[in-house]
Amino acid sequence: MPEKDLPAITYASPDYRPPPPTDTPLWLQPMNATSPMTEDDSEDESVITPSYQQKQQVFVYIYLILQITNARIVGFEDNDIQYFGRWQKTLTDIQSVSSGAYLKTTIVLDEQQRQIKLKLSKSAIIYTQIDKQGPISKMEAIDNGVYPIELVINLPTATTTRTMITIMSDISSTICLQAIEINDDSMMKIQQDNHQPHLIEFVGHDLTLGLGTSNSIMTSFPWLVSSLLATERSQIAFPGAWLMDHQESIGMETQYFKGTSFYSPSIVVVLLGEYDQYPYAYTIRLSNFLSRIREHFPHTVILVLSEPLGVLFQESQSAVTFLNDVQTDQNIHFIDTTGWIQYGHTAYIDPLHLNDIGQDKFARKLAPLLKAKLNRQPFPGPRPNPNLPFHWQTMDVGQEKSVGLIGSVSFDSAKKFTLWGSGKGFLSQDGFRFVYQALSGNGSIQVTIESHSAFASCAKAGIMMREHLAHGSPHVMLGLSPQDGLFIHQRQINLNSTKLLKKKRLSPPYRLRLTRQGNTKFIAQIGSITTNTWETFSEIENTTTMMARDIYVGLAVTSCDPTVVSVAKFADVTLSGGVGGGGFYYHNQQQQQQQQQQQHGLVIQQ
């Protein structure tokens, strides 16, 4: 059966964002905005302080259990039980608050200890894992009217007497643990480590939960990353989660601070923006949210991931650079993920959900960055491309079906490149070959297009400044085409269509220069190869629509037909300004790269 096309990703308007799902389980639905939005989650003492009669009842209950079953009851407050994620203690139990919250303990077995019993206050769907590499089993505790509800977990015959048990909540239910029952002669104890376990906290929405994958949260990138790095994890995530509080319901800026975390995370990873509907307010609200996290965890590394398709890219990056530059917090970093996974059937279910392959790719891209920060090291830079000089990188930009044939590049010197590019071009969904470096702030690119061979008249070759590496990125391109001659076009808003601004009947060879001044002004200049003078072809300035500070600059070629390629030769390629590196993570690192490149003559100054 032929594959069904994925849904289109064109939004109805620039400010539109998909509403959150309406079939979310009740406990996962954000609370009404009229609820108090406070970080003080303390309850009334009359609720949490047991009366004398209540104490007597609890004591009698435990005593009878011990006499009848000859078992030992380990209460939820026992120090040999570790809790990860967000939990809330009550008088009689401890309740999971965040999706995928889990507990773990190590049981020292005797010959008779081949099962344990969970004592629960309410029914629940849970996952269990015996030892770190053991299989994961899904279980359901059913309410039959007998309390507490018991769930028996059978333990396999083991070669060791020490067995670690992990018990995790399903995203659709809550664990309400009263106690764990074990044999009277057995013991429970925390797995002894020489240091507090590394905990990585993941804050987000559907992608963070792995919704739509084969095993949901267990095939999500946070779960996969924690397995790769052998760390503990906490997933503070909800289906359709957004950052900002609304009149209808509250967002993550309030939800995040609910419940109790028993460990300070080594790293907090934030992936939000897809469901937020007010981009003009997003930057300040995100910076405030990150500042509040910093107040709670003064020494924690915070990573803000871009949405894979670039939604609210500039707004997210601006929030981080504000905290870096104004509040001098150098332990908060922005990570561009838009070049990690190409949109299409291979890795995506739809624009909002990755499949198992996509989640795995995302995890493997993220893991080295987290590992570096766990070891207190700088981020690893992009791997050098053996087919390109210095810090140039290359990729096909666009959806799988929009790109078509795989492009390529070769170079004769540091200033001379030949690009082969396929793809549908630059309408609402890009498809082209891109050779690029990162640009921070002001800068320019200058080339001579010596030749351009193409089958289709709409094929294009030129120079580009581009906000991110996903297929719908805002960008400005100055180039040559058989159909339009010399042209300049622009896409102002992510995933919108491009707009042709100006064209002129010219053909190669010709010199082109594109300069950025600030985040809102671009100057396009042209010149004949027989003169050294430059003519201003167009100036673009829009104070209401800006690009991010850190963007990409480079060479672009498309065939306008995904079944063929077009070939363009670029000479005298010259970059200036804050360029350098095939990708950026945060401004201090990029400045350091630029200094190193300048020392070794790697940044070609005009």
596 has pLDDT over 50: no
* pLDDT-above-70 percentage for the chain: 80
562: confidence class by pLDDT, cuts 50, 70, 90: very high
Per-residue pLDDT tens digits for 461-511: 999 999 999 999 999 999 999 999 999 999 999 999 999 999 999 999 999
- 47 neighbors 159 (Cβ within 8 angstroms): no
pLDDT tens-digit profile of 155-183? 876 555 678 899 999 888 999 999 999 87
- 389-400 pLDDT, tens per residue? 988 999 999 999
The β-bridge partners of 74 are: 180
Residue 600 confidence (pLDDT)? 34
Q: What is the mean pLDDT of residues 519-535?
A: 95
Region label for 100, one of left (φ > 0), alpha (ψ between -120 and 50) or beta (otherwise): left
Q: What integer pLDDT is reported at residue 69 of this predicted model? A: 53
Q: What is the reported pLDDT for 160?
A: 57
- Does the structure show a pLDDT above 90 at 280? no
Average pLDDT over residues 306-319: 97
Note the maximum CA span of the chain: 101
Q: Write down the H helix ranges in 261-344.
A: 279-296, 313-325
Is the pLDDT confidence value at 591 over 80? no
| pTM summary value | 0.84
Q: Which of the four pLDDT bands, split at 50, 70 and 90, describes residue 47? A: very low
Q: DSSP class of residue 274?
A: T
Q: Which residues are CB-neighbours of 429 under 8 A, at least 6 positions away?
A: 9, 398, 399, 402, 471, 472
Summarize pLDDT for 84-124 with one digit per residue, the tens.
Answer: 999 999 999 999 999 889 999 988 766 666 788 999 999 99
Give me the count of residues in the chain: 606
What mean pLDDT value characterizes the chain? Answer: 85
Domains and CATH numbers, the chain: 48-189 (2.60.120.260), 195-374 (3.40.50.1110), 393-599 (2.60.120.200)
d(C-alpha 512, C-alpha 54), whole Å: 82
Tell me the three state secondary structure of residue 130: strand
- Please report the pLDDT score of residue 187 as a whole number: 63
Bridging pattern class, strands 475-481 and 460-466: antiparallel
Segment 338-353 mean pLDDT? 97
pLDDT average, residue stretch 333-343: 98
The amino acid at 12: A
| Coil, strand or helix at 605 | coil
Q: What is the pLDDT of residues 188-223, one digit of tens each?
A: 665 554 456 799 999 999 999 999 999 889 999 999
Checking 346-351 for CB contacts under 8 A at 24+ apart, the result is: 346/400, 348/6, 349/212, 350/6, 350/7, 350/212, 351/6, 351/7, 351/9, 351/309
